[in-house]
Amino acid sequence: MKHPYVGLCYNHCSMSHLQNRLKQIQLRPLILLITISLLLTGCALFPKQFKEVIADYKPSHEYYMPELIVQTVSQPTYVKEKVVYRVDSEMELAVLAMILFEEGTVQIFIEDRDFSIDRTYAYLESLMIHAFRFSMGTKTYTQNDKTVKTLDYVKIELYDDRMDQVDKAIDTFIKLKVDRTETPERVLRDIHDGLIVTTQYDTAILELDLTNIVDHTPFEAYGLFIQHKAVCSGYSKAFVGVAREMNIPVLTVSSTKMNHAWNLVYVNDAWLYIDVTFDDPVPDKANHVVDTYFLLTHDKITRASFTIKAHEFDLASDTTLTAAQYLEFAQYVFN
């Protein structure tokens, strides 16, 4: 005999199944509408994959590498840095840092690269006229305790606030000592002679502990222009400051072998050397100028003679540049 509730259960289950099917059919258009809406508003159930975009950036600078074009790289939304650069060498990084520093940007972010901070500093120091601190670091982004993005950065900080004083002193020096209408070679001679007659070599350096120097201004252009006392690095950086304003390509060349610095300039279609320090008599003689070390070729400045002390360049290392590397960098920056 059939159980009295079997038919009722069957009918009830059939009705429930039918009602559920009707609900599913009614919900399908709503689910489809919500899905389309999410896709159109960018809030899809499956997030978009980030696509890197490379763009060209051309600095507005006419002195350093006027044709320089640097690549910028777009970043995911969680990266706070607005601009991230892609650079390929320490030379390119040094030039970019210098250009952006002069535009007022002291810290720049770059894609993670294996660059030498010491080598980059050596290149940068050949361009700078102010005392500065150079640092390099890494910024890391993490999600769920996992590193998802790493950026490198470099930062230039001045040791003091004397930059405006030096810049004004350079303008005054040019007005008093340099004839802008002359040929580049004659302008270089004006700079050379003007620095010598207005400056005394600081012989106090002979009594200093060179391993523990703090704020000794004659090492900088400030000492020459403001205090009228300088040592080799002060002469060479001051020379860079004036020659740059006259749009003449110039670098400071440093040698740890000699504990000395001088300048590399481009004139008459050639790279030549000037050593203002060695042309300034010691003890000082008022208005007395010699030109023994003015516009020398590499062969002449590195070969000892009766009148010339041979200049020794460093060997290649992470912290020092050779004569060939200085020349390569000069040609990279200015030619």
Structural Rg of the chain based on CA atoms: 33
| Whole-number Å distance between alpha carbons of 252 and 264 | 6
Contact present, 279 and 290 (Cβ < 8 Å) = yes
**Can you give the pTM of this predicted structure?**
0.82
Mean pLDDT over all residues of the chain?
86
Amino acid at 322: T
| Whole-number Å distance between alpha carbons of 323 and 92 | 19
Contact present, 190 and 178 (Cβ < 8 Å) = yes
pLDDT of amino acid 20 = 53
| Whole-number Å distance between alpha carbons of 176 and 170 | 10
Contact present, 239 and 295 (Cβ < 8 Å) = no
H/E run at residue 189: helix 184-197
DSSP symbols for 43-103:
--SSPPPP---EEEE----SSS-TT--EEEE---TT---S-EEE--SHHHHHHHHHHHHHT
pLDDT of amino acid 123 = 98
Tokens of 315: 């060997």
pLDDT band at 43 (very low <50, low <70, confident <90, very high): very low
Q: Which residues make beta-bridge pairs with 142? A: 147
260-303 pLDDT tens trace: 999 999 999 999 999 999 999 887 787 789 999 999 999 999 99
- Report residue 334 CA to chain centroid gap: 15
Provide the Cα torsion 234, 238, 241, 245; round to 10°: 180
pLDDT band at 57 (very low <50, low <70, confident <90, very high): confident
* Total residue length of the chain: 335
